[in-house]
Amino acid sequence: MTAILAAVCIAILVVMSLALCRAFKAPTVYDRILGVNMFGTKTVLFIAAVGFLMGRPEFLDIAIVYALINFIGMVAVLRFFEYTTPTE
Tens of pLDDT, residue by residue over 36-85, are 999 999 999 999 999 998 989 899 999 999 999 999 999 998 888 877 76
Contact indicator for 46, 15 with CB cutoff of 8 Å: no
User: When comparing pLDDT for 30 and 68, which is higher?
Assistant: 68
Contact indicator for 22, 41 with CB cutoff of 8 Å: no
Alpha helices by DSSP H, listed for 1-88, are 2-25, 29-54, 58-83
pLDDT value at residue 28: 87
Give the mean pLDDT of 4-11.
91
pLDDT higher than threshold 80 for residue 12: yes
Q: How many residues does the chain have?
A: 88
Contact indicator for 50, 9 with CB cutoff of 8 Å: yes
Closest CA relative to residue 43, chosen from 78, 7, 25, 68: 68
pTM value is: 0.83
pLDDT value at residue 85: 64
**So where are the chain's domains?**
2-83
